[in-house]
Amino acid sequence: SDLVDFDFQLSLDSDLDMYWTADNTTLTALLRYQGTAWVALGVSDSGGLMVGSEVVLGLPNDGTVLKYDLTERSASGVEEAPTVRQTLNGTVLVQSGGVTTMQFSKLLEESGEIAIDGRGENTFVYAYGSGNSLAVHEGRGAVVVDLLTCVSTSVDLQSIREGAVLLHGGLMVLGFSWLMPAGVMAAVFKFFLGNSWIRWHATLQVIAVVCVVAGLILMVLEVDRADGPEHLDNSHARFGAYVAAGAVLQVLVAQCRPARNPRDLESYEGDADWTCREQSLARRIFQWFHKLLGFSLIPAGVLAVRLGATLAEDNGYMSNARARTMWYLSVGPVAVFLVIILLYRVVAFCYCRRAREQRHDGTMGSGLEMRKP
């Protein structure tokens, strides 16, 4: 070691060095980072994974060196340990000349904590930020160190890749915010498309669901490949799985659509007649369920994208700018879609009411109804 107070020194990466001395009861460690930021050093009993580790975290803005439990991958999962466990001695946290130094002494064995072997191998985790406030880490890693011999082995941790996150989010945005609304528009404006509307509607919805399922499968495979995250371990994953299941259900339910009476679009006197003519109970139940599920999936999908973009930003998988862009690409077209549908439905409601009055008076076809082009 180049510091006389410590027996050993290990370079964790190009900007971070660890120094230590251990006896039968205590580990005294120092972390020196070539920069001004928060720093953390801890132990792991899960192969170097962040979640489940216990760390000593130095926060320059607070001037504190305390124990923390890592319960989630995001910053919200960095939880300060209870006061009864704050047993560190000789804590130091200084920043000078563009260098951050944290020092502490910790008992090797403490009740309810991961034990440290002062004469053998331990898995240490480390991290540092881009500034003094706790946020997504600038650098991190894990290493197996023999505290007695200084022999070390880096732990190769596979992270979630940004490209996979972007592709996953892009497929979800395409499916929920662009293709599904386009499919709904084909159904709403069916009289402008003629009898081909159902082909447009079904094709767009099926492609949308294919995009959603492909995005889901992509992220399942990425989570399997990476170290640390688990399936359905956060609200975005659980909610997104429910929404994707709803999208698949929507397509399957559509295959059970009862026929209208009459079947031919040409038999109706415009959109008002199509909307207002009495149908069978089975057809009415199908229409209400299909519409309710379809219109619910779009905002639910947008919410899932929002949760995902926030999660990706918090975990450092995606930059803030890209997360905002994905959110805008998701909510923008849906907002336009909702305005168009609302305006159209207001007009259709007025025509529908007048059409009913005309049918009641026996004057249907007087020119007040919406007609096919």
Among 74-83, 126-135, 141-150, whose mean pLDDT is lowest?
Answer: 74-83
How, if at all, do strands 78-80 and 39-43 pair?
Answer: unpaired
Mean pLDDT of 284-298: 88
Stretch 279-300: mean pLDDT: 86
Question: For residues 10 and 207, what is the distance between their CA atoms, to the nearest angstrom?
Answer: 54
Tokens of 366: 């007087």
Instruction: Give CA torsion, residues 53, 55, 60, 61, to 10 deg.
Output: 50
- Per-residue pLDDT, averaged over 295-314, amounts to 91
Please return the burial class of 113, using the count of CB atoms within 10 Å of its CB with bins 0-12, 13-18 and 19+.
middle
The answer, yes or no, to whether residue 137 has pLDDT greater than 70, is yes
Residue 30's H or E segment, with its range, is strand 26-33
Residue with tokens 């909702």: 338
Residue 38 sits at the vertex; the CA angle it makes with 62 and 73, to the nearest 5 degrees, is 105
What φ, ψ does residue 272 adopt, rounded to 5°?
-65, -40
Amino acid of residue 66 = L
For the chain, give the longest Cα–Cα distance: 103
Q: How far apart are CA 155 and CA 44, in angstroms?
A: 12
Q: In this predicted structure, what is the pLDDT of residue 189?
A: 82
Buried b (16+ CB within 10 A) or exposed e, 297-325: bbebbbbbbbbbbbbbbbbbbbeeebbeb
306: Cα within 13 Å, side-chain hemisphere = 9
CATH architecture of 162-361: Up-down Bundle (1.20)
Confidence of residue 26 (pLDDT cuts 50, 70, 90): very high
**Across-strand partners of 282?**
none
What pLDDT was estimated at residue 372? 39
Average pLDDT, the chain: 86
Cα gap 269→266, rounded to integer Å: 8
Higher local confidence (pLDDT), 230 or 225: 225
Confidence of residue 366 (pLDDT cuts 50, 70, 90): very low
Distance CA 108, CA 114 (A): 9
pLDDT band at residue 314 under the 50/70/90 scheme: confident
Domain positions in the chain: 8-154, 162-361
CATH fold of the domain at 8-154? Immunoglobulin-like (2.60.40)
Say yes or no to pLDDT of 64 above 80. Answer: yes
Token pair listed for 148: 């007695």
Residue 38 predicted with pLDDT over 80: yes
Instruction: List the one residue out of 185, 193, 184 whose CA is nearest residue 250.
Output: 184
Query: Which run of H or E residues covers position 310?
Result: helix 281-314
The Cα 330–Cα 220 span in angstroms is 22
Half-sphere exposure of 168 (CA within 13 A, CB side): 28
**Residue 233 in this model has a pLDDT that exceeds 50:** yes
Q: What is the pLDDT of residue 373?
A: 38
Mean pLDDT of 45-61: 90
The pLDDT of residue 367 is: 41
302, 307, 310, 313 alpha-carbon torsion, rounded to 10°: -100
Alpha carbon distance 64, 205 (integer Å): 54
pTM, two decimals, is: 0.65
pLDDT for 171-191, tens place per residue? 999 999 999 999 998 888 877
Q: What is the DSSP string of 214-235?
A: HHHHHHHHHHHHSSS--TT-SH
* Rounded-to-integer distance, Cα 38 and Cα 59, Å: 5
Mean pLDDT of 123-131: 93
Give the per-residue pLDDT at 136. 77
